[in-house]
Amino acid sequence: MSGPDFIPAAVRARLKDLRLAGRRAAGGHGFGQHRSRSRGAGLEFAQYRAYEPGDELRQIDWKLYARSDRFFVRESERDSPLTAWVLVDATASMAQGDAARPGWTRLDAARALAACVFELALRQGDRFGLAAISGDGLQLVPPGAGPRHRDRCLLELQGLRARGDWPDETRLRPLWERIAAGQLVLLLGDDFDEGAVVLMEKLSAARREVLNIQLLTAEERDFPFRGGHRFRDPESEAELIGDGAAARADFLARFAAAREALQARLAASGVRRVEYFLDQPLDAPLRRLLAPQAAERA
């Protein structure tokens, strides 16, 4: 049974010119997968092996089956498969949305962007896994490949609820056991938790390829409030009552400074970061992260 489809048809069509790749796999010179003698569904025939549950039926050599009455999968040499991890911030602040796009929250955007990454990995024959981080701790779907694994990840995304604070480091230790050096990590979150930023820095320092899409509301970008407003922190429940127009200039200046500081901090750690505002096209941040890779490979 197929999992939920978080990707609008128009966005799905635009994904065809994007490709996941890791620059560290290519020795640090641009982005691109490296050539190796791994086996998969490539172009040059390498060998036969016995069919295993989960293999795609199109890989079975039916002529050989007719002669031997046994299922064999035809393997070929191909580029080394990438392993991509999507880390989703599912803390309470991810439930926030705004009037620019009613009914669309940060977590909704994270689900849809994660689904796009899974689709790209599936098309490439790569492995992908999911880690959701919330006040409940860590929910993991270890890396796998194929349509069934994609559907499993999508069902896990569908069940996510934004709750609690960012957990302490001890509860995130399984990430270090699962995410190996050289693997690609994309963190989707609002980046408001110091723990999330520290995690990205440490993963990058440990030779993981780390990308980040910061999910922000249009109201945070524009601060369109007028008159008296009650502003509430969704995680701490702290409230502030103030006049929107009077607070606008100060908020926008502080918000811009905070984003610039985060950009510089992550860049210094080798983490590529882009922003996504909830009123923008879904594939816009992926295009900014991944389209340059295609240009460098050309």
Which carries the bigger pLDDT value, residue 77 or residue 16?
16
Q: Would you state the pLDDT for residue 39?
A: 46
Separation between Cα atoms, residue 17 and residue 134, nearest integer Å: 33
Q: Would you state the pLDDT for residue 238?
A: 72
DSSP line for 246-261: HHHHHHHHHHHHHHHH
Contact 150, 119 (CB under 8 A): yes
- Summarize the confidence of residues 10-33 as an average pLDDT: 67
Domains in the chain with CATH codes: 9-21+82-297 (3.40.50.410), 36-79 (no CATH)
Which carries the bigger pLDDT value, residue 230 or residue 155?
155
| Model confidence pLDDT, tens digit, residues 173-207 | 999 989 999 999 999 999 999 999 999 999 999 99
Residue 38 confidence (pLDDT) above 60:
no
Q: Would you state the pLDDT for residue 204?
A: 96
Query: How far is CA 44 from its chain centroid?
Result: 31
Nearest Cα residue to 201 out of 193, 210, 213, 192:
210
40 - beta bridge partners?
76
Separation between Cα atoms, residue 25 and residue 167, nearest integer Å: 31
- Summarize the confidence of residues 110-116 as an average pLDDT: 98
What is residue 204's three-state secondary structure?
A: helix
| Least confident residue range of 64-68, 113-117, 153-157 | 64-68
Residue 25 confidence (pLDDT) above 90:
no
Q: Would you state the pLDDT for residue 161?
A: 96
| Least confident residue range of 133-137, 231-235, 285-289 | 231-235
Q: Would you state the pLDDT for residue 295?
A: 41
Query: What is the chain's alpha carbon radius of gyration, rounded to the nearest angstrom?
Result: 21
**pLDDT band at residue 136 under the 50/70/90 scheme:** very high
Give percent above pLDDT 90 in the chain: 62
**pLDDT band at residue 26 under the 50/70/90 scheme:** very low
Identify the residue whose tokens are 């995680």: 235
Q: Would you state the pLDDT for residue 42?
A: 46
Q: Would you state the pLDDT for residue 52?
A: 64
- Summarize the confidence of residues 140-152 as an average pLDDT: 95
Which carries the bigger pLDDT value, residue 135 or residue 53?
135
Count how many residues are written for the chain: 298
Which carries the bigger pLDDT value, residue 46 or residue 113?
113
| Model confidence pLDDT, tens digit, residues 244-275 | 777 889 999 999 999 999 999 999 999 999 99
- Summarize the confidence of residues 133-138 as an average pLDDT: 95
| Sequence-ordered list of residues with C-beta below 8 angstroms from that of 159, at least 6 positions apart, any chain | none
Q: Would you state the pLDDT for residue 281?
A: 96
For residue 23, give both structure tokens: 């620059």
| Sequence-ordered list of residues with C-beta below 8 angstroms from that of 75, at least 6 positions apart, any chain | 39, 40, 41, 45, 46, 47, 48, 49, 59
Q: What is the mean pLDDT of the chain?
A: 85
Residue 69 confidence (pLDDT) above 60:
yes
